[in-house]
């Protein structure tokens, strides 16, 4: 069945009618846009000019919004207007609502959006960055707002659960699969496999074991083991590295990929990952060596079952698949 066409007039009316659903007062998209403009320009007068409405009308709209939600969003002084702590938190949610509304307009009103939107949360994978770069280059958008977060496993799941990110990228293996799948199921999140790989270690090209066809955990004992810290959610199940329960005499936790690779080079350290490296992003100072263990990891993307991917989200998945096909995976 074809989509029913909704006119611009009907859409605008929906924005005003939402106030009186069920006989109770509710906020509107227009109010949220007004609030965001005031937060951006830090001035009622300046925001009113940009919105092409009168200053009293905008001021009243903000006061009405504050009264409806029972919070003071702005602090007004002789020097101007600034967000309160509650207003700062409210703004984050308002931005998400407006971005989702723009996606709705794009899909159902055939309206070219002011900017293309896409947000990705991922574990620290070079191929995820490469696909993101390719997606942006192919978007041909005049204006866009894309987000790429390399972050912790728990935060990836939370981002997708709360629709802060359309897509998350993480891995499952024989150890974490049951625990993570339970969490994903409870949060209405679906896992989509991308590829399966055997564990590799990333080491410096000058590392004594760099030329080996394979390496064992025993051979790595004397070298520093590098892994990504997971904050308060430091359960082995949330570890970004496979074989997370293995004991290491020398262990260093880091929070970003650049620091990890600098320590791999500077300390002759190593980390365990998929084996997928990108010389354009990571340079030629790091090499990948297969780790001699009987384990496999499945890297995939997750999405909220309650939401449909945007055009750019679908484009990102296509770029991910293309990048992965270009690698020779073991």
Q: What's the pLDDT score for residue 23? A: 44
Report how many helices (DSSP H) and strands (DSSP E) the chain contains, helices first. 11, 12
Give the whole-angstrom CA distance, residue 157 versus residue 73.
Answer: 29
Residue ranges of E strands in the chain? 74-77, 80-83, 116-122, 144-150, 167-173, 189-197, 200-204, 225-228, 251-254, 271-273, 286-290, 297-304
Predicted TM-score (pTM) of the model is 0.67
Render the burial of 21-41: b for 16+ CB within 10 Å, e for the rest: eeeeeebbbbbbbbbbbbbeb
Give mean pLDDT in consecutive 10-residue pieces for the chain, a chain of 330 residues: 40 44 65 90 89 91 91 85 88 84 71 70 94 90 86 95 92 96 96 95 95 96 94 88 92 92 94 80 82 95 90 93 78
Q: What's the pLDDT score for residue 145? A: 82
**φ/ψ (deg, to 5) at 82:** -135, 155
Give the whole-angstrom CA distance, residue 20 versus residue 97.
Answer: 19
Q: What's the pLDDT score for residue 329? A: 53
Q: What's the pLDDT score for residue 204? A: 95
List domains and CATH numbers for the chain.
8-93 (1.10.10.10), 116-194+299-325 (3.40.190.10), 196-295 (3.40.190.10)
- Contact of 203 with 159, CB cutoff 8 Å: no
Distance between alpha carbon 140 and the CA centroid of its chain, in Å?
Answer: 21
Q: What's the pLDDT score for residue 16? A: 44
Q: What's the pLDDT score for residue 195? A: 95
The count of other CB atoms within 10 Å of the CB of residue 281 is: 12
Return all residues near 156 (Cβ < 8 A) that are at least 6 apart.
121, 122, 123, 149, 165, 168, 169, 170, 302
Give the whole-angstrom CA distance, residue 11 versus residue 7.
Answer: 6
Q: What's the pLDDT score for residue 24? A: 52
Give the whole-angstrom CA distance, residue 134 versus residue 320.
Answer: 9
Strand partners, 273: 200
């Amino acid at each position: 069945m074809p989509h029913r066409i909704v006119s611009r007039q009907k859409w605008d009316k929906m924005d005003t009618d939402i106030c009186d659903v069920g006989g109770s007062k509710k906020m509107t998209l227009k109010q949220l846009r007004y609030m965001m403009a005031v937060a951006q320009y830090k001035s009622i007068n300046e925001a009113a000019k940009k919105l092409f409405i009168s200053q009293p009308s905008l001021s009243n709209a903000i006061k009405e919004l504050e009264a409806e939600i029972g919070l003071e969003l702005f602090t007004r002084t002789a020097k101007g207007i600034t967000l309160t702590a509650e207003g700062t938190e409210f703004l984050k949610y308002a931005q998400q609502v407006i971005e989702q509304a723009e996606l709705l307009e794009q899909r159902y009103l055939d309206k070219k959006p002011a900017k293309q939107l896409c947000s990705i949360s991922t574990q620290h994978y070079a191929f995820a960055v490469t696909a993101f770069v390719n997606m942006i280059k192919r978007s041909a958008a005049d204006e866009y707002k894309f987000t790429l977060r390399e972050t912790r496993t728990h935060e990836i799941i939370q981002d997708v659960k709360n629709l802060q990110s359309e897509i998350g990228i993480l891995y499952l293996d024989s150890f974490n699969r049951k625990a993570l799948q339970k969490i994903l199921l409870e949060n209405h999140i679906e896992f989509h496999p991308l590829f399966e790989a055997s564990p590799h270690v990333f080491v410096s090209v000058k590392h004594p074991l760099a030329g080996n066809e394979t390496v064992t955990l025993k051979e790595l004992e004397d070298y520093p083991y590098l892994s990504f810290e997971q904050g308060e959610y430091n359960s082995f199940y949330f570890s970004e590295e496979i074989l997370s329960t293995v004991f290491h005499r020398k262990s260093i936790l880091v929070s970003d990929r650049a620091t990890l690779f600098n320590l791999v080079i500077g300390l002759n350290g190593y980390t365990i990952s998929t084996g997928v490296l990108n010389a354009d992003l990571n340079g030629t100072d790091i090499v990948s060596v297969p780790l001699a263990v009987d384990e496999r990891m499945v890297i995939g993307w997750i999405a909220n079952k309650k939401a449909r991917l945007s055009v750019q989200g679908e484009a990102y998945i296509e770029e991910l698949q293309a990048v992965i096909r270009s690698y020779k995976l073991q």
